[in-house]
Amino acid sequence: MPLSAEERREIEAEFPRYPTRRAVCIDAMKIVQRHRGWISDESLEDIAQLLEMSLDELDGVATFYNLLFRKPVGRHVVLLCDSVSCWIMGYDRLRERLCSKLGARLGETTADGRFTLLPIVCLGACDHAPAMMVDEDLHRDLDPEKAEQALENYK
Amino acid sequence: MEKPLTQHVRRDGEMLDLRAYEAVGGYQGMRRVLRMDPREVQQLVKDSTLRGRGGAGFPTGMKWSFVPMGPDAPHPKYLICNADEMEPGTFKDRLLLEATPHQLIEGMSIAAWAIQAEVAYIFLRGEYVESARRLQKALAEACEARYLGRNIFGSGYSLEMHLHTSAGRYMCGEETGLLNALEGKRANPRTKPPFPQVSGLFGKPSIVQNVETLCTLPHIVNNGAEWFKKLSRTADGGTKLYGASGKVKRPGLWELPMGTTVRELLEEYAGGMREGLRFRGLLPGGASTDFLTEEHLDVPMDFTAVQKAGSRMGTGTMIVLDDKTCPVGMVWNLEKFFAQESCGWCTPCWSGLNWTERTLRALEEGRGREGDLEKLAYQTWFNAPGNTFCALAPGSAEPLQSALKYFREDFERHIHDKRCPWK
Ligand SMILES: Cc1cc2nc3c(=O)[nH]c(=O)nc-3n(C[C@H](O)[C@H](O)[C@H](O)COP(=O)(O)O)c2cc1C
Ligand code: SF4
Ligand code: FES
């Protein structure tokens, strides 16, 4: 599916903010991901063309960044902080519970396509560790029960 | 006790909007500097002894003095706010971004005027969604009030300011990696020289400054260098956002005089260890700083004193280790982070860190062998400053080398017992 008019408009709206087109590429990939959940080979080609970049160059950028998904993800993305303060405060138990509840390991998507579970670097909520994000929401002061409950709100 | 940076943080967690910010004197500093010569502003910040709050503590006024000034200087010049905050254990910039975005915008405008930049970017980590919303709102308010844009306050000075949200990688916080990321490239670092002050973003003179550093500027401008110096108990001026996480009674974040001691932070502000736990050590300022232990509790937290004690103040948010948590496990967690975030540019870093991570994992899983500790020590030497392109690798060596020193017996027990004694 080629870039929609809306995606294109949003990407072009970024142009005046940078002196080169290429500088827009991360924003552009984030825009497409916001609309489609992930960035397919085809989307990548369309973006490369719009920004006058080679496909290899753009893919090199895409694969460098943790929050750009080059594979399909579930309806909701769970980012579980695995950095040091959360580790001290009970990350291992949290991960075990979420993995067993979801029937998915880190990096995997549930069979029903509802959740993708990913590890993430320190979320800057260390005084309320352990922490995770679900889509755009931060959840703090978690324990396995609270984490499990929090997921109930994402259908 | 004065708390210039956080005094207007709202208790209900909402942001201070433009009207509320102006009601408490907001944007007065910016009005004031626009009547000053840029060199005068640079001198004021030099006199204040302000040192960068991003971790390295470089003197801010001195950094600005390398930017070419005058009619022949290349343009546009850029002022960039480093709001990447991905150092594990660090949660200080988030507060300033969410609670007082206008304070940051004003600070950035002051810095931009001092180096005569006409474009500014806020480089924000992608996960800080709430910060992004509030910054967008504050930027819109400031543009509407014509505090940003063309001919600000009729001074003839124009400044554009943009928010860039990142796509996640620790290396984006490294100054030159950040510049590459903003140009739409992989966040590999750049060779220096040329230094960014001379040839940075898009090849133009650029300054990169931490959020907290920039937020202090309106206060220095309004109250003067002497006032700023007096906020501190030591020779590094100002207040500092300090924090504590781990198994202390009250984890949190506090603005206090620079030079508040480790003991005060740990015992008074964080309330000491939780019931039944003993203090073993702490990383004073994020993942890439050396452990301090009991013997260092009376060290004042400033750049100079913590360095003298064999560590670095770093970001000033400490991570506390208790006696029911395995120090080897903790260091393994840290080195896994560094190995994962290494950009792969230099051999000691990517290959050394992979190896370090695997060795620590083996120790934790009861597969440690005689000689492992010597090899780990060698890796910290291999990644010492000067052997790699950027400070990620030397940073990774800090918690490991100090853990090997202070918790040596715990490492040895892992080898002799063939298991982790904490499991
Ligand atoms: C791997 C790495 C990550 C860094 N991450 C950050 C960061 O997230 N925020 C920050 O302000 N500085 C970070 N720094 C430090 C910056 O390179 C730079 O020194 C700092 O932004 C300068 O601002 P300051 O002088 O105001 O402290 C990082 C450094 C390294 C080596
Ligand atoms: S030290 Fe590590 S992160 Fe820094 S440039 Fe070298 S490989 Fe990349
Ligand atoms: S370590 Fe998890 S939020 Fe900082």
CATH number at residue A17: 1.10.10.1590
**Residue ranges of chain B assigned to CATH 3.40.50.11540:** 18-230
Q: Hey, what CATH class is B241-322 in?
A: alpha beta
- Say if CB B90 and CB A124 are below 8 A apart: yes
3-state secondary structure of A133: strand
A51 is a domain residue: yes
Cβ of residue A89 closer than 8 Å to a chain B Cβ: yes
Q: What is the pLDDT of residue B173?
A: 97
Q: What is the pLDDT of residue A1?
A: 83
| Average of per-residue pLDDT values in chain B | 97
Among the three residues A18, A40, A64, which one is the final residue of a domain in this structure? A64
Cβ of residue A78 closer than 8 Å to a chain B Cβ: no
Beta bridge partners of B322: B279
3-state secondary structure of A118: strand
Q: Which two tokens mark B44?
A: 């004021």
Q: What is the pLDDT of residue B385?
A: 85
DSSP B192-232: SSSPTTTS-GGGS-EEEEEHHHHHHHHHHHHH-HHHHHHHS
In this structure, the answer to whether residues A57 and A99 fall within a common structural domain is no
Q: Which residue has the tokens 């950095």?
A: A83
- Picking from A23, A60, A87, the nearest residue to B182 by CB comes out as A23
Q: pTM score, two decimals? A: 0.98
Among the three residues A64, A84, A110, which one is the final residue of a domain in this structure? A64
- A127–B181 CB contact, under 8 Å: no
Query: Which of B301, B313, B287 is CA-nearest to residue B52?
Result: B313
In this structure, the answer to whether residues A85 and A122 fall within a common structural domain is yes
Q: Which amino acid is at B209?
A: Q
A103 is a domain residue: yes
- B88–A127 CB contact, under 8 Å: no
Q: What percent of chain B is predicted at pLDDT more than 70?
A: 100
In this structure, the answer to whether residues A35 and A83 fall within a common structural domain is no
A100 is a domain residue: yes
Among the three residues A64, A95, A111, which one is the final residue of a domain in this structure? A64
Q: What is the pLDDT of residue A75?
A: 97
3-state secondary structure of B52: coil
pLDDT band at B391 (very low <50, low <70, confident <90, very high): very high
Q: Which amino acid is at B21?
A: Y
Q: Which fold has domain B327-417?
A: de novo design (two linked rop proteins) (1.20.1440)
Q: What is the pLDDT of residue B212?
A: 98
The pair phi, psi for residue B28, each rounded to 5°, is -70, -35
Cβ of residue A50 closer than 8 Å to a chain B Cβ: no
Q: What is the pLDDT of residue A86?
A: 98
Distance of CA B262 from the midpoint of ligand 1 (Å): 23
pLDDT band at B386 (very low <50, low <70, confident <90, very high): confident
- Picking from B87, B185, B246, the nearest residue to A61 by CB comes out as B185
- Whether residue B84 is predicted with pLDDT greater than 90 in this model: the reply is yes
- B168–A67 CB contact, under 8 Å: yes
The pLDDT tens digits of the residues spanning B272-309 come to 999 999 999 999 999 999 999 999 999 999 999 999 99
pLDDT band at B316 (very low <50, low <70, confident <90, very high): very high
In this structure, the answer to whether residues A57 and A105 fall within a common structural domain is no
Cβ of residue A54 closer than 8 Å to a chain B Cβ: no
- Whether residue B384 is predicted with pLDDT greater than 90 in this model: the reply is no
In this structure, the answer to whether residues A80 and A142 fall within a common structural domain is yes
A59 is a domain residue: yes
- Cα B229 from Cα B238, distance rounded (Å): 6
pLDDT band at B267 (very low <50, low <70, confident <90, very high): very high
Beta bridge partners of B159: B149
In CATH, what number does B18-230 get?
A: 3.40.50.11540
Cβ of residue A142 closer than 8 Å to a chain B Cβ: no
Atom of ligand 3 lying closest to residue A85 CA? 1
DSSP code, position B233: S
Top residue of B118, B326, B333, B342 to mutate, by most chain A CBs within 10 Å, is B333
In this structure, the answer to whether residues A42 and A96 fall within a common structural domain is no
In this structure, the answer to whether residues A127 and A107 fall within a common structural domain is yes
A71 is a domain residue: no
Q: What is the pLDDT of residue B109?
A: 98
Give nearest CA residue, ligand 1 atom 8.
B85
- Picking from A26, A89, A122, the nearest residue to B88 by CB comes out as A122
| Average of per-residue pLDDT values in chain A | 97
CA distances from B372 to B366, B396, B412, B415, B416 (A): 12, 18, 10, 9, 12
**Residue ranges of chain B assigned to CATH 3.10.20.600:** 241-322
Containing structural domain, residue A31: 5-64
Q: Ligand 3 pocket, A83 CB below 6 A? A: yes
The pLDDT tens digits of the residues spanning B110-148 come to 999 999 999 999 999 999 999 999 999 999 999 999 999
Residue B31 contacts by C-beta under 8 Å, 6 or more apart in sequence?
A: B153
* Residues of A with Cβ-Cβ distance to B169 under 8 angstroms: 64-66
Q: What is the pLDDT of residue B387?
A: 86
Burial B98-136 (b: 16+ CB within 10 A, else e): bbbbbbbbbbbbbbbbbbbbebbbbbbbbbbbbbbebbe
The pLDDT tens digits of the residues spanning A89-142 come to 999 999 999 999 999 999 999 999 999 999 999 999 999 999 999 999 999 999
A69 is a domain residue: no
- Cα B88 from Cα A120, distance rounded (Å): 11
Q: Helix count (H) and strand count (E) of chain B? A: 17, 8
Q: What is the pLDDT of residue B107?
A: 98
pLDDT band at B45 (very low <50, low <70, confident <90, very high): very high
A70 is a domain residue: no
For residue A103, what is the domain's CATH number?
Answer: 3.40.30.10
Q: What is the pLDDT of residue B373?
A: 97
pLDDT band at A53 (very low <50, low <70, confident <90, very high): very high
A4 alpha carbon, distance to own chain's centre: 21
Residue A113 contacts by C-beta under 8 Å, 6 or more apart in sequence?
A: A74, A75
- Say if CB B284 and CB B311 are below 8 A apart: yes
In this structure, the answer to whether residues A11 and A59 fall within a common structural domain is yes
Pocket test for ligand 1, best of B175, B315, B337, B340 (most atoms within 8 A of CB): B175
In this structure, the answer to whether residues A59 and A89 fall within a common structural domain is no
Burial of B393 (0-12, 13-18, 19+ CB in 10 A): buried
The pLDDT tens digits of the residues spanning B165-201 come to 999 999 999 999 999 999 999 999 999 899 999 999 9
Minimal CA separation from A126 to chain B, in Å: 6
Total domain count for chain A? 2
Distance of CA B288 from the midpoint of ligand 3 (Å): 14
**Residue ranges of chain B assigned to CATH 1.20.1440.230:** 327-417
Q: What percent of chain A is predicted at pLDDT more than 70?
A: 100
Q: Which two tokens mark B378?
A: 């060698």
- Cα B204 from Cα B192, distance rounded (Å): 14
In this structure, the answer to whether residues A143 and A87 fall within a common structural domain is yes
A112 is a domain residue: yes
What value of ipTM does the predicted structure carry? 0.97
B57-79 average pLDDT score = 97
pLDDT band at B402 (very low <50, low <70, confident <90, very high): very high
- Going by their DSSP bridges, the two strands B78-83 and B119-124 should be labelled as parallel
Query: Which of A99, A136, A101, A137 is CA-nearest to residue A118?
Result: A99
- Cα A50 from Cα B285, distance rounded (Å): 43
In this structure, the answer to whether residues A129 and A94 fall within a common structural domain is yes
